[in-house]
Amino acid sequence: MKRAALALYYGAISLSFGLPWLLYLARRIAVDHERPLDAVRSLRLVLFGPGENLFLIAVLNAVPFLTFALAALLHLGTAGAGVARRRLWGLAGAGLAILFLNGWLLIRYFFDPSHAALAPLALPFTTVALPLGYGLGRLAAQKVPPVSLY
Amino acid sequence: MSTREILGHLAVLPALLGLGALFFIHETGPAAIPRLLATLDSPRRAEREIATGRLGQMGRAAASAAPALAAVALRDLDSSAAYALGEIDLDGARDLARRVIPLLGHASVETRRKTVSLLGGLGAAAKIATPALLRALEDSDKLVRMHAVSALARIGIPRTAIVPALIGALDDPDSSVRYQAGTAFDFSMPANSQLEAARSAPARPRDPAAEGRIAAWKSRAEQAIRDDRDVEVHIYLLTRSRPTDLLLTVLRSAGAKEERIHPLHELAKIGPRAVKALPAVVAVLGDENPFLRYLACEVVAAIGAAAKEALPALEPLSRDASPAVRESATGAVAAVQGARP
């Protein structure tokens, strides 16, 4: 479980800032047909650019992801063998919930900004989905029989 | 995992956040200026505009970028560079305006269009270009006239020359110019359904329905200007307090001086009724920011004879280090004493 806890912890930290920037790069390359190097260069410019400010968007996005990262490390990292599986399922549910919600908000913002200009403001509030996703994950853990990986 | 292991991994988080904070400071402070200046030569227009926008956001902290911005603005007649310069360097912006004014008589329509846009980008600092822009309202090219309307609305001073010209532009033969003139009054008119209908109406020449809406709009604009109904709002913005505590608060207010640029500019557009804000404006006359001193002088000039209590504070500004402030102070003294500047 140590590996899983660390993977969730560092994965969430990476996605906290990385998710909006990756989606921005995807838009520049797929929609604006920019070369990857040009897209990366423009990313650095718009991090604090008027109207874009991707740094602020990343900070807003980081709220649920960093909360999740701390939960993963403290909740799963300290779990004994008896409860680790259920906790892992719970955290997987919570992680999927914020990944889905924030990913959806960011895709709406980057790929259809005319209709979703305010979407980034909702990013930190998806934190409330963490306990819900956790509960659903724990519920799923009860329904799915344990599978030995050995 | 042991407690020691968990604490070790937890320590990574504040370390990363600290790095993020350092990156933020590096990218938004003066250290970013050389890289932004290098971007001004990018072949990509979007990148140039972001770089100029960010320099403009830095305001006077980006003073070292002013000569390069002026050079780019002059070389390419780039209005975004002019906009940034107008935010950074009052005298540099004024000097640029003086240098491009002759281009309003250029044979190339494209040059004239770019020049009026550039002058509008400079904002209040380009007051010196107002007479030339008023003449540009007679240009044969409708886009030059349209951009001139927009530029005059953005410069906004002297109000006595610009407001009649904008009202006159509501009768321009071209519907797009009339439309632009209508939007110019947004700064002093509350939005309502009729204005919104006029704004969203397709600007078709000689469309009877559109003409009717534009006529109604014009009538409302004239009434709003007669009423000067937004004066309280502008004073509120200047003092950033409740209207009842206006003057006392402004005397105590010390921070966020740049936030006063916009309300001062708006007060200068209001005219004599801005006299309610005079004590607050007089306090700004001694500010260390030349843009604030300049705009405060413009407000006093717009108030005119009723601003006699500003004369002692104006007197030292006739020897101000900034040529723009000196000229504006001289004009303000003349306006208060009854002689038109």
CA proximity to B332, closest of B291, B309, B289, B303: B303
pLDDT(B273) > 80: no
Distance from C-alpha of A2 to C-alpha of A9, rounded to nearest angstrom = 10
Tokens encoding A26: 């995807």
Q: Where are the domains of chain B?
A: 244-336
Q: For A14, which residue in chain B has the nearest alpha carbon? A: B16
What would the mean pLDDT of B117-140 be, rounded to a whole number?
95
pLDDT at B12: 92
Contacting residues of B for A66, CB less than 8 Å apart: 13
Percentage of chain A modeled with pLDDT above 70: 97
CA proximity to B225, closest of B295, B276, B153: B153
Interface of B with A in 40-59 (CB under 8 A): 44, 46-47, 50-51, 53-54, 56-57
pLDDT at A85: 87
What's the gap in Å between the CA of A44 and the closest CA on chain B? 9
pLDDT(B202) > 70: no
pLDDT(B3) > 80: yes
- Residue reference for tokens 């100029």: B52
**Contact status of B213 with chain A (Cβ, < 8 Å):** no
Q: What is the pTM of this model?
A: 0.72
A and B: number of Cβ contacts within 8 A? 52
Tokens encoding A72: 């993963």
Distance from C-alpha of B320 to C-alpha of B326, rounded to nearest angstrom = 5
pLDDT(B230) > 60: no
Q: For A46, which residue in chain B has the nearest alpha carbon? A: B50
Contacting residues of A for B24, CB less than 8 Å apart: 48, 55
B120 vs B246, more confident: B120
CA proximity to B303, closest of B333, B258, B330: B333
pLDDT at B204: 43
Query: Which segment of B142-151, B245-254, B303-312 scores lowest on mean pLDDT?
Result: B245-254
Distance from C-alpha of B267 to C-alpha of A134, rounded to nearest angstrom = 56
Distance from C-alpha of B28 to C-alpha of B31, rounded to nearest angstrom = 8
pLDDT band at B227 (very low <50, low <70, confident <90, very high): low
Helices A81-111 and A54-71, packing angle to 10 deg: 170
pLDDT digits (tens, 9 = 90+) for B19-31: 999 988 888 888 8
**Contact between residue B85 and residue B69 where contact means Cβ atoms under 8 Å apart:** yes
Distance from C-alpha of B275 to C-alpha of B288, rounded to nearest angstrom = 23
Which of left, alpha, beta for A16 (phi over 0: left; psi -120 to 50: alpha)? alpha
Query: Which segment of A31-35, B33-37, B218-222, B327-331 scores lowest on mean pLDDT?
Result: B218-222
Angstrom distances, CA of residue B103 to CA of B77, B86, B148, B164: 10, 19, 13, 24
Query: Which segment of A7-11, A98-102, B291-295, B336-340 scores lowest on mean pLDDT?
Result: B336-340
What Rg value do the Cα atoms of chain A yield, rounded? 17
The most confident of the ranges A29-33, B187-191, B319-323 is B319-323
pLDDT at B189: 34
Query: Which segment of B123-137, B191-205, B311-325 scores lowest on mean pLDDT?
Result: B191-205
How many Cβ atoms from other residues are within 10 Å of residue A139's Cβ?
14
Rounded to 5 degrees, what angle do the CA atoms B48, B49, B52 make?
85
Inter-chain CB proximity A78 and B54 less than 8 Å: no
pLDDT at B231: 56
Distance from C-alpha of B273 to C-alpha of B233, rounded to nearest angstrom = 12
Distance from C-alpha of B134 to C-alpha of B126, rounded to nearest angstrom = 13
What's the whole-number average pLDDT of chain A?
A: 88
pLDDT at B208: 62
- Residue reference for tokens 């009717």: B212
CA proximity to B312, closest of B341, B293, B298, B333: B333
pLDDT(B199) > 60: no
Class of domain B244-336: mainly alpha
Contacting residues of B for A50, CB less than 8 Å apart: 50, 53-54, 56-57
pLDDT at B308: 93
Tokens encoding B95: 């000097």
What would the mean pLDDT of A113-140 be, rounded to a whole number?
88
pLDDT digits (tens, 9 = 90+) for B57-102: 888 889 999 999 999 999 999 999 999 999 999 999 999 999 999 9
pLDDT(A84) > 90: no
Contacting residues of B for A3, CB less than 8 Å apart: none
Collapsed DSSP state (helix, strand, coil) of residue B165: helix
Inter-chain CB proximity A50 and B53 less than 8 Å: yes
pLDDT(B336) > 90: yes
pLDDT at B220: 61
Distance from C-alpha of B274 to C-alpha of B280, rounded to nearest angstrom = 11
**Contact status of A65 with chain B (Cβ, < 8 Å):** no
How many Cβ atoms from other residues are within 10 Å of residue B110's Cβ?
12
CA torsion, ordered B197, B203, B207, B208, to nearest 10 deg: 30
**Contact status of A69 with chain B (Cβ, < 8 Å):** yes
CA torsion, ordered B313, B315, B321, B325, to nearest 10 deg: 70
pLDDT at B89: 93
Tokens encoding B266: 């708006």
B257 vs A16, more confident: A16
What's the gap in Å between the CA of B341 and the closest CA on chain A? 37
The most confident of the ranges A67-71, A113-117, B28-32 is A67-71
B183 vs A120, more confident: A120
**Contact status of B288 with chain A (Cβ, < 8 Å):** no
Inter-chain CB proximity B9 and A6 less than 8 Å: yes
| B52-76 burial code (b ≥16 CB/10 A, e <16) | bbbbbbbbeebeebbebbbebbbee
pLDDT band at B339 (very low <50, low <70, confident <90, very high): low
